[in-house]
Structure 1
């Protein structure tokens, strides 16, 4: 049995970029023909696209994670890795995408609208792209970057011109069925309608859509009954129609009190889109006048409701009395409301380049350890993620990049001492100021760097283990080592 789902959560993971290739061209009589490692391919994006054939979020209710393909690694002979295929997810028109904290990220309205939910990682450069006058044949390549990962909440808010507002069993579903070709479930018990139903109505030359949504009860704006499910789907409606049951036998209910209760809930609800509901045009449809007592009651309350400035129509979904007048009235109100709205502004891509003179990084003292420092910045953190730390030449290349950026000079000015722990991203180094900014360092064999000898790295590893033990506390420090 098909289900309607209008709210769900989804974890999206973009593809990782492929690693670059470290390769040297070799052929007969040319044992070292120069670097020819290709670049890694970029990771695939996760993209949402509005599809007119999708009307529910049911697919995402059963699929809580969506992952795009990774890029492939570069190869020798200057062959770049292939890009990961984008993962395109079809969503219904009117889908709102929010972050895990509730912040709205995208409002997907209009067939074909696309939004990149998670961007794929960039591929790493191969050693052919890293070659320079100082490094004619690099023995390393850069790693690909990880793809973006997000926890999202998808919420469907129906797109309809007219929203029917009423208590359970007021006749909203019967009205949609009488006006259009929609066939919602109709029964004589409350909350027969559990999911929104859309019907297309024609009145003369105009065509518009009508939404039949779950019934409203007092306290709906606070989540009682199906209130939030109801109210979410009328946020975008241009006109609201009060469907009032004039034949109800429930004590304490009459058309005026029903309308007042509905208006109170609409005033309490704060929509996330489209402005306040109190500003929307209203129409009052007094239903079930095929019952004699209901017809008399409708005639009695019509002047008082009309005095509020709302058009009032007495109708019967059973005999179809008043439905033609109601449909033309709804068409007129929809046309007037749409004409009064300002034209939509064209979508613009806003680029905010960094200010002139804005530093590319910041050096701050580490609050967790005395004498330690943290380097924060998009470029140094990205460079660290791209580095192969089991390759001395790659580490030396990273040191040169940081030195050219001015990181070593900034650490010296901040008071860092040789051997001070320095954290960039998720990697902690023991700072050894051996590469002053602008210095030219004589390089050794491929994959090696004369500034990085094994003894220095071993002592740095010992100091790192000692720091980790101090941070762990006395209990873990005294624990027996794992075997």
Structure 2
């Protein structure tokens, strides 16, 4: 059964915001109680948190869909809806978060590091919060916003000080077992190691971690063998140790050729994927060569033969045997020295700085674009217009009028006029298929709060008959005839009374 997973697809969904409440206080002897509808609760966030006790992404392999709880709806008598609870997902140290296009969104290193994978939606405002001196009793409330929904790729890059690389069956797992308390699976066949193994090594007062990466073969950077799946685990390592098998019986192999192949694969992987990310490239990091299995007489002779050639390349070479533990103590202190030097060379972390990004002059926060496909329409994009559309209950005319007022207040209508829009043109607010389509009608200069009408209605949205000139003339003559008839009636009543 799979116990180690280092790459998963996570479907994160923030909780939805609760709707606001439209309510008017009704109490005996208080006919003008006013609106008392409260706001809805906000939805919870989906948050990734680094947990030192978590070493694999296996949980998200089996259950990739994660959703935070939603906020509840507001109620009358100013009872605010309950906020949804945040959903915290534990991830291993060294988890990299990417979007569907491969862009890195977060690199979570260090216990307690957090990243909001999907934000919860805001709760809608109740009619009490929407009341104003001119709109004393709104007959509508705002809807809660839906929570964000993202498909994220989580990749685990092991955080270790030393990475052991080499051919399969070179003795890397045996070396980790000999240096530390880790007990990886060890067998005499290639690709015994299927997952990276970590071990903690103590050398005097220095403590560091060693990672055993599954064996590499020619073409590993192109996907052959298991190398491509686990090469990412050496990206964070400060020291690279080449474990070379001096007792191999495979034809055409020797320590020199093995080293050349592994270095070529590391260089190709770093060049193709551009994984340095500001760190020292893999081929330029401190390297150490370990000639393993010298407990075999022929292997010891081969190690003595190739050692001068390796040292001539400027590499530090140590001869060891994981079976007899010969040479392990010098290797431990040599690794501790390299790790200490690498740690001292790391730049100090920059202090936290607040970056102020003022809005550019003339930036309205939205854009209006004229589009032409099979027909002409105008596309409005911006955080505020799109959020306001999501919060609007289009079954309520007054809520639609309030939306029109808000859009006009930030200058959407002026932008539409400038783009050439006319009454009746199609306007889309939002992203393509998910946008809301309107047949645009310019609003009146007065706001919805100045228009009288029943609660929940907006007179601008009602059909009103506009009389023609002949109808106005007929109405004028009817009024004149009515006045003349009333005057004649008064004269008749006066003559009957003899006055």
Q: 1:455 to 1:369 in 2, by over 3 A?
A: farther
Q: 1:472 matched to which residue of 2?
A: none
Q: 2:227 matched to which residue of 1?
A: 227
SS at match of 2:437: strand
TM-superposition CA deviations, 1:141-191 (whole Å, max 9, x none)? 001111111110010010110100110000001111111100000000000
Match of 1:372 among 357, 372, 377: 377
Q: 1:66 matched to which residue of 2?
A: 66
Q: 1:371 to 1:210 in 2, by over 3 A?
A: closer
Q: 2:210 matched to which residue of 1?
A: 210
| Structure 2: gaps spanning 5 or more residues | 466-499
Indicate conservation of the 8 Å contact 1:215/1:230, yes or no.
no
Find the aligned partners of 2:40 and 2:59 in 1 and give their Cα distance.
33
| Structure 1: gaps spanning 5 or more residues | 457-483
1:7-406 alignment runs, 5 A limit? 7-270=7-270, 272=275, 273=277, 274-348=279-353, 350-368=355-373, 370=375, 372-406=377-411
Find the aligned partners of 1:196 and 1:371 in 2 and give their Cα distance.
57
Find the aligned partners of 2:143 and 2:375 in 1 and give their Cα distance.
32
Indicate conservation of the 8 Å contact 2:96/2:104, yes or no.
yes
How many residue pairs are counted as aligned between the two chains?
A: 456
Find the aligned partners of 2:196 and 2:143 in 1 and give their Cα distance.
49
1:369 positional shift: 5.4
Q: 1:267 to 1:412 in 2, by over 3 A?
A: closer
1:209 positional shift: 0.5
Indicate conservation of the 8 Å contact 1:409/1:436, yes or no.
no
Find the aligned partners of 1:211 and 1:126 in 2 and give their Cα distance.
56
Find the aligned partners of 2:269 and 2:36 in 1 and give their Cα distance.
63
SS at match of 1:152: strand
SS at match of 2:407: helix
Q: 1:428 to 1:288 in 2, by over 3 A?
A: same
Quick check: 1:409 aligned with 2:414? yes
Find the aligned partners of 1:437 and 1:193 in 2 and give their Cα distance.
74
Match of 1:432 among 436, 441, 451: 441
1:371 positional shift: 5.0
Indicate conservation of the 8 Å contact 1:216/1:226, yes or no.
yes
CA RMSD of aligned residues (A): 1.7
Find the aligned partners of 2:105 and 2:451 in 1 and give their Cα distance.
50
Find the aligned partners of 1:44 and 1:450 in 2 and give their Cα distance.
38
SS at match of 1:366: strand
Q: 1:371 to 1:303 in 2, by over 3 A?
A: closer
Find the aligned partners of 2:352 and 2:231 in 1 and give their Cα distance.
28
Indicate conservation of the 8 Å contact 2:448/2:458, yes or no.
no
SS at match of 1:379: helix
TM-superposition CA deviations, 1:224-268 (whole Å, max 9, x none)? 101112311111111011111101111111111111111111111
Q: Structure 1 stretch 418-427 or stretch 188-197: which is displaced more?
A: 418-427
Q: 1:420 to 1:242 in 2, by over 3 A?
A: same
Q: 2:492 matched to which residue of 1?
A: none
